Amino acid sequence: MSSSNSGVRAAQVLNRPFSLGSLALRNRIVMAPMTRQFSPGGVPGPDVAEYYARRATGGVGLLITEGTYVDHPSAGSSDQVPRFHGDDALGGWAHVVERVHQEGGRIVPQLWHVGMARAAGAPPVPDAPRVGPSGLDMEGEETGHAMTQTDLDDVVAAFAAGAASAERLGFDGIELHGAHGYLIDQFLWKGTNRRTDAYGGDLRARSRLAAEITAACRQAVSPDFPIIFRMSQWKMGSYDAKLVESPQELDALLTPLSEAGVDSFHCSTRRYWQPEFEDSDLNLAGWVKKISGKPTITVGSVGLDNEFTAVFQGTGGEVTAIDRLLDRLERDEFDLVAVGRALLGDPNWAAKVLDGRTDELVPFEADLIKALH
């Protein structure tokens, strides 16, 4: 298909509105969350607001913020990553929301607890312990503390408080970071969850903390305030990890989360075009939608020719043909498409795609990671 025809088709397929509870989106393009570390002391400043506003001006329908720490001492591992508690940080986020809305965009914060991914002695609370389901790191080494019931209750309350703050500040929903080997995912994955209590064992038990966090957030916000849950099979440093090996196991994982109040699943893969299970070409987002009946967001090297690690090795970076993505979206395999690094390379990526100006797209280059404004 010619580039001109591809451009017209992209505009038609992606430039359709979509609604999720109280959230009304102007198109199907989502900005994926990307850690930036441009918030000294955990406070997002005017530069952060302009960073997101530029992508809203550039046509993105929904922006998901970088991960932002919930109010728990062990939640973070950097004092440059924004937090989602405290008057100073929340005041900064209020300005972010205002600017994005002024540009016609919609925005949700990603609420985050890193769990065992925290480095010992790291800020923002250097003396906070490393905590997780079993005190195990991704290699299975016992380098932290297994969480007590009090710890679990405190974390659940922290996420719920973050959800309530998000609605109060005017955000359009929230995303819970349950992917990539961070705290919630550490409970979901048998590699890091060796508990023998109600939070460990089979998939349903391992999903208990995620479900409790979701339910607490649901109670803390309005019934139509969207809750998005980000999930992945892979983990940071463990790309071959699997939460589930079959559609049946995926069902066992999704059911308690859906019952707890998840409205949409954001399914993180490294290559969106790869099938998740044998005997089907559905990707992870496609399977999650089929099983749960919930709207899904797909993500994974959208706008890049190669999977993202290749970009940093200097072998990727070209803009990919968009046709295979549109094929899947047209047949409703998933509902929304999240774009990450391509939007770093070109803040106007969405507008150019929606206008059919794909020949004007600016490729992402690895050295842009040094200047993510």
Catalytic positions are 182
Q: Residue 340: name the closest of 364, 320, 359 by CA.
A: 364
Q: Is 121 exposed, middle or buried (0-12, 13-18, 19+ CB in 10 A)?
A: exposed
Residue 127 CB neighbour total at 10 angstroms: 7
Q: How many CA atoms lie within 13 A of 32 on its CB side?
A: 25
Residue 234 CB neighbour total at 10 angstroms: 20
Q: Which residue shows structure tokens 């069902």? A: 251
Tokens representing residue 194 in the block: 């060796």
* Cα radius of gyration rounded to whole Å, the chain: 19
**What single letter denotes the amino acid at residue 64?**
I
Task: Identify each DSSP E strand in the chain by its residue range.
Answer: 18-20, 23-25, 29-31, 62-69, 106-112, 131-132, 145-146, 174-177, 227-232, 264-268, 296-299, 336-339
Q: Is 170 exposed, middle or buried (0-12, 13-18, 19+ CB in 10 A)?
A: middle
Chain CA centroid to CA 255, Å:
20
Query: How many residues are present in the chain?
Result: 373
Contacts of 193 (CB under 8 A, 6+ apart): 133, 134, 186, 187, 199, 200, 206
Helices (H), 66-202: 87-102, 149-169, 183-188
